[in-house]
Amino acid sequence: DVKETGKNNYRWFSDTIEDIRTRRMLIEQFLKDAINGEELTLHYQPKWDLVQNKIAGVEALLRWTNPQLGHVSPYEFIPIAESSGIINDMGEWIMRTACRQFVAWQKQSPGMSLIVAINISGVQLLQPNFIERIQGVFTDENVDPCHFELEVTESFAIENFEEVINILVELRNLGFMISIDDFGAGYSSMKYVCQLPIQCMKIDKTLIDQLADNVRSQVVVSTLIEMAHRLKLTVVAEGVELPEQLHLLRTYRCDQIQGFLISKPVPADRVIELLHTNDLVR
Ligand code: C2E
Ligand code: MG
Ligand code: MG
Ligand code: MG
């Protein structure tokens, strides 16, 4: 059941299994229409290059606001989109929208160098015709895949190692850059990481969170960065919020950082403005 808490906000009482089921069902039902309607948007979060002192790229992050449910977090709706199969059409919408946005930015700011990253859900990656689909989008929209990076989560890549590796190799051959997302949140098996055709490692926020006040996590993060560098990977630290974290990451020679310290994810029309701001990091 829904109860009104005032201010047009609905609060969901998810104490019971029944309530959880109802909300899941509603999300699934509304999500189907959301793709065709105007409820989905992409926001973009900059990746700040610590060596070149500029924005190296942006990560597209999905936002959903539904008239009944209000704003729903991707942490909640992505798993539902995955289990219901909606993620496949939704993922195509994300790729197409990001391509069109990239073309629009290029027109606005000719000669800019900007890599756009999109998150690819594991379910989406393993659909039988994923390669044809992604190729179709980039051909339709006339965008060279070399401007795009695909983020695949560590846990997923390792759980489905054999299948994933073949698809990643194909994507790599098409020209996409591949990064392993949320590294350190899962198994973090070095044996697997060395075998994946990736160019970039994103260190999970949970490791960054502990950085400023935990010596052990300083050892882990600095060692991880060194190892990634020796594997010729670019390293991005996720969820950097504090100047102390930035300071440590600089001493570890981390390549790029992402997080609220630099910028939250912003709507597309604010990206060009951010690109021309040189003092995002003080
Ligand atoms: P992710 O790909 O690891 O993205 C990073 C998440 O951390 C984003 O949450 C971002 O807004 C948030 N974040 C970034 N910097 C900070 C910080 O300094 N502090 C804090 N507290 N948070 C920070 P968001 O946008 O809610 O997305 C959550 C997750 O949902 C993403 O994690 C990704 O796994 C998934 N997701 C989001 N958009 C998409 C999408 O378009 N496709 C797919 N398949 N998954 C998506
Ligand atoms: Mg990501
Ligand atoms: Mg991540
Ligand atoms: Mg994460």
Nearest atom of ligand 1 to the alpha carbon of 182: 3
DSSP 62-109: EEEEETTTEEE-HHHHHHHHHHHSTHHHHHHHHHHHHHHHHHHHHHHS
Q: How far is the CA of 271 from the centre of ligand 2 (A)?
A: 17
Query: Is the model more confident about 271 or about 278?
Result: 271
Quote the ipTM score. Answer: 0.98
Q: Is the CB of 206 under 6 A from ligand 1?
A: no
Note the pLDDT of residue 1. Answer: 43
Nearest to 45 by CA among 255, 276, 246, 263: 263
Q: Band the pLDDT of 117: cuts 50, 70, 90.
A: very high
Q: Is the confidence at residue 155, as pLDDT, over 90?
A: no
* Cβ 61 vs Cβ 119: under 8 Å: yes
Nearest atom of ligand 1 to the alpha carbon of 60: 41
Note the pLDDT of residue 279. Answer: 72
Average pLDDT over residues 188-197: 83
Q: Is the CB of 260 under 6 A from ligand 1?
A: yes
Q: Band the pLDDT of 3: cuts 50, 70, 90.
A: very low
pTM over 0.90: yes
Nearest CA to ligand 1 atom 27: 74
- Range in 100-109, 190-199, 217-226, 246-255 with the lowest mean pLDDT: 190-199
Q: CA–CA distance from 239 to each of 63, 160, 168, 257 (Å)?
A: 18, 26, 25, 8
210-269 pLDDT per residue, tens: 999 999 999 999 999 999 999 999 999 999 999 999 999 999 999 999 999 999 999 999
Give me the chain's average pLDDT, please: 91
Query: Is the model more confident about 111 or about 99?
Result: 99
Q: How far is the CA of 274 from the centre of ligand 1 (A)?
A: 19
Q: Is the CB of 13 under 6 A from ligand 1?
A: no
Q: Band the pLDDT of 158: cuts 50, 70, 90.
A: confident
Looking at residue 238, its amino acid is E
Distance of CA 140 to the CA centre of its chain: 23
Q: Is the CB of 78 under 6 A from ligand 1?
A: yes
Q: Is the confidence at residue 12, as pLDDT, over 90?
A: no
